[in-house]
């Protein structure tokens, strides 16, 4: 269930002779409906966030995003992301290497298992860690005895976030590395290159743009994860609140402007993610054109 | 790639596969297995009573129906958007294309509060819909709209590449043989698009059933009416009813595994189609 399918629009496909396309009127109507739908479903919510965020003026906006609780939520979110994303990056590269460069039994089963977190509801992704490490969980009593806190603390938030964003980088890299085959690596190996050398000098340069997009997308999802983190965090203000949870709390306290102000920060992150994606597509199209 | 099984000269197979399986087990498989073990602690009667409770059944129904409606709407409009983006030229096309991915990149809670603000009775859309007697926020319609937002990229992005690679010659031939545009679409183009459309539909549907963040704000969370299954799990957890939460979760997990298998089967089939064709 890849969240990242990099299909760039080719110019060729849109250049069509008259007899295999629709009449101009139908074309305009179809484009109109598509744009209207996207405007209503995607653009309107996007615009509303900024309008609501600045409704009470610039000062309220600045005060909301520099509030100590907001800052501590930002710090916790950053810390979580800095652990979860590198872990999933290493995993993504290892999984893609094993799956794309070698033949083995059960490969399809492995790919399906990697997809599992996509299919699990975020709330359930949080629940499983509560069942393991919560006070009434399997390891709960043992953890309490040794004074280790996982649930309602950073480790739980990191675990839940890692679980939810688990497949993103692997799913971005696997098809890319499969498409590139093994010839270049085998050539390097037969010339005497060692494993890491092959990876750094041959494989990585070929997939770097895809990897970058995978990391950025994983990052966006890790920052924005709500359901799973909501279950394991305990909502302790200034302590275990991530940015999305902070937004929820402000919203439920009817501090709408503050809530949308913090939300607008996350929108900026989402927009940066989309820009990086366009950049990656542009770069990989260039790479293809060169070959 | 066949036949390179034990003869591959590339290094790192043991290390990379070993790490993959280890990490997969620690982060995903063992935690998930915990749910099964926890449910095993329930008697069959306890499990059955929990999952057939009127409020639980109602939440499953709300989740399924809204996810299904949203996926069907996305099927139609996702195809239309993919079609327009691939086949027509118009100003701002690249920008529109990037915009399709926004629901992937935007945190669900942010989408949730934004949609609620728009469709609340005094919101941008709500103020026009309310006098017409259409209540969107805090009703199943609101949940459906949130799920349309979440699911849209799945359909567009699975259909788009297939539509892009579609051979022009076949369409040319159909025209030569005298087929009209609509007939060409139905008989020539549609069969090719069916597998990716089904995949996109299944992805959007599966995502919709489990979705929480974007829905919880707009749904109003009224038991029996607009309470979705993930929220009920959350409520049970807050009441420290871990067994109840686990029982509800198990039913959802089984449903999503079945969806995942169907999706992988569909993707495998459409890949094979491409490979053979």
Most A-contacting residue of B39, B113, B237 (CB-CB within 10 A), to test interface: B113
Side-chain half-sphere CA neighbours of A12 within 13 A: 9
Banded pLDDT at B106 (limits 50, 70, 90)? very high
Q: Answer yes or no: is pLDDT of B63 > 50.
A: yes
Q: Could you give the percent of chain A with pLDDT greater than 90?
A: 70
Segment B54-63 mean pLDDT = 96
CA B69 distance to own-chain centroid: 12
Q: What is the pLDDT of residues A107-157, one digit of tens each?
A: 988 998 998 998 899 999 999 999 999 888 888 899 999 999 999 999 999
Phi-psi bin for B220: left (phi > 0), alpha (psi -120 to 50), beta?
A: left
Q: Report phi then psi at A268, rounded to 5.
A: -60, -45
Q: Find chain A residues with C-beta within 8 A of B264's C-beta.
A: 108, 111-112, 115
State how far residue A189 is from chain B, nearest Cα, in angstroms: 7
- Give yes or no for A107 touching B (CB within 8 A): no
Banded pLDDT at A261 (limits 50, 70, 90)? very high
Q: What is the pLDDT of residues B119-145, one digit of tens each?
A: 999 999 999 998 999 999 999 999 999
Banded pLDDT at B272 (limits 50, 70, 90)? low
Facing A132 at nearest CB: one of B31, B212, B234:
B31
- Cβ within 8 Å, pair B209-A121: yes
- Give yes or no for A75 touching B (CB within 8 A): no
| pLDDT for the residue A4 | 40
Which of B202, B171, B200, B194 has its CA nearest to residue B184? B171
- Cβ within 8 Å, pair A94-B19: yes
Phi-psi bin for B135: left (phi > 0), alpha (psi -120 to 50), beta?
A: beta
Q: Find chain A residues with C-beta within 8 A of B101's C-beta.
A: 274, 277
| pLDDT for the residue A11 | 67
Q: Answer yes or no: is pLDDT of B107 > 50.
A: yes
State how far residue B108 is from chain A, nearest Cα, in angstroms: 7
Q: Find chain B residues with C-beta within 8 A of A3's C-beta.
A: 104
Selected residues 78-97 of chain A with any CB under 8 Å from a CB in chain B: 87, 90-91, 94-95, 97
Banded pLDDT at B1 (limits 50, 70, 90)? very low
- Cβ within 8 Å, pair A182-B8: yes
- Cβ within 8 Å, pair B106-A267: yes
pTM for the structure as a whole: 0.91
Q: Find chain A residues with C-beta within 8 A of B237's C-beta.
A: 127, 130, 231
| pLDDT for the residue B7 | 60
Q: Find chain A residues with C-beta within 8 A of B274's C-beta.
A: none
Q: Answer yes or no: is pLDDT of A161 > 90.
A: yes
Query: A101 with A176: CB under 8 angstroms?
Result: no
Helix B229-238, helix B54-87: angle, nearest 10 = 130
| pLDDT for the residue A47 | 95
- Give yes or no for A10 touching B (CB within 8 A): yes
- Give yes or no for A49 touching B (CB within 8 A): yes
Facing B20 at nearest CB: one of A40, A98, A243:
A98
Q: Could you give the percent of chain A with pLDDT greater than 70?
A: 95
Segment B87-116 mean pLDDT = 94
- Cβ within 8 Å, pair A163-B2: no
State how far residue A239 is from chain B, nearest Cα, in angstroms: 19
State how far residue A119 is from chain B, nearest Cα, in angstroms: 6
Q: ipTM of the assembly? A: 0.90
Segment A207-214 mean pLDDT = 91
Beta-carbon contacts of B7 under 8 Å, excluding residues fewer than 6 positions away, are none
Number of inter-chain CB pairs under 8 A, A vs B = 331
| pLDDT for the residue B5 | 46
Q: Where are the alpha helices (DSSP H) in A152-255?
A: 154-164, 167-180, 183-190, 195-198, 204-224, 227-233, 243-252
CA distance B175 to B121: 51
- Cβ within 8 Å, pair A45-B111: yes
């Amino acid at each position: 269930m890849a969240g990242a399918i990099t299909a760039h629009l080719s110019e060729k496909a849109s250049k069509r002779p008259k007899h295999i396309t629709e009449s101009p009127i139908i074309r305009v109507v179809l484009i109109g409906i598509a744009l209207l739908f996207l405007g209503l479903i995607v653009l309107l919510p996007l615009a509303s966030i900024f309008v609501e965020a600045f409704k009470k003026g610039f000062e309220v906006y600045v005060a909301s995003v520099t509030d100590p609780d907001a800052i501590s939520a930002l710090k916790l979110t950053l810390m979580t992301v800095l652990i979860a994303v590198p872990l999933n990056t290493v995993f993504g590269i290892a999984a893609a290497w094993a799956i794309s460069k070698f033949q083995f039994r059960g490969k399809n089963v492995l790919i399906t298992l990697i997809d599992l977190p996509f299919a699990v509801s975020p709330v359930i992704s949080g629940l499983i860690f509560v069942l393991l490490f919560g006070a009434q969980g399997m390891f709960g009593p043992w953890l309490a005895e040794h004074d280790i806190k996982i649930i309602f603390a950073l480790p739980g938030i990191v675990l839940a976030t890692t679980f939810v964003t688990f497949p993103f980088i692997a799913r971005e890299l696997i098809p890319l590395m499969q498409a590139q085959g093994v010839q270049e690596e085998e050539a390097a190996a037969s010339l005497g290159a060692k494993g890491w050398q092959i990876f750094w000098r041959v494989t990585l340069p070929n997939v770097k743009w895809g990897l970058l997009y995978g990391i950025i997308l994983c990052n966006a999802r890790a920052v924005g994860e709500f359901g799973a983190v909501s279950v394991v965090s305990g909502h302790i203000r200034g302590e275990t609140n991530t940015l999305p949870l902070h937004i929820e709390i402000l919203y439920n306290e009817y501090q709408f402007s503050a809530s949308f102000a913090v939300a607008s920060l996350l929108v900026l992150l989402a927009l940066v993610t989309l820009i990086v994606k366009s950049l990656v597509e542009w770069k990989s199209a260039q790479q293809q054109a060169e070959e | 790639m066949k036949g390179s099984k034990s003869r591959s000269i590339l290094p790192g197979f043991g290390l990379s596969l070993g790490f993959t399986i280890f990490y997969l087990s620690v982060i995903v498989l063992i935690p998930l297995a915990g749910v099964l073990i926890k449910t095993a602690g329930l008697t069959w009667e306890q499990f059955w009573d929990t999952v057939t409770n009127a409020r639980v059944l109602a939440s499953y129904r709300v989740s399924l129906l809204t996810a299904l409606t949203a996926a069907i709407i996305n099927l139609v409009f996702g195809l239309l958007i993919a079609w327009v983006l691939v086949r027509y030229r118009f100003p701002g096309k690249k920008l529109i294309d990037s915009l399709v991915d926004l629901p992937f990149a935007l945190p669900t809670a942010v989408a949730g509060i934004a949609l609620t603000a728009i469709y609340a009775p005094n919101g941008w859309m709500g103020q026009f819909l309310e006098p017409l007697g259409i209540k969107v926020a805090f009703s199943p319609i609101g949940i459906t709209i949130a799920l349309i937002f979440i699911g849209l990229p799945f359909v567009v992005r699975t259909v788009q590449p297939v539509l892009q690679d579609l051979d022009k010659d076949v369409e040319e031939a159909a025209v030569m043989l005298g087929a009209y545009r609509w007939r060409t679409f139905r008989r020539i183009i549609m069969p090719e698009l069916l597998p990716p459309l089904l995949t996109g539909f299944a992805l959007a549907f599966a995502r919709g059933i489990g979705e929480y963040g974007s829905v919880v704000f707009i749904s109003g969370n009224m038991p029996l009416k607009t309470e979705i299954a993930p929220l009920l799990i959350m409520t049970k957890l807050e009441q420290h009813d871990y067994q109840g939460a686990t029982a509800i979760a198990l039913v959802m997990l089984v449903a999503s595994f079945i969806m995942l298998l169907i999706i992988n089967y569909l993707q495998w089939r459409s890949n094979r189609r491409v490979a053979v064709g």
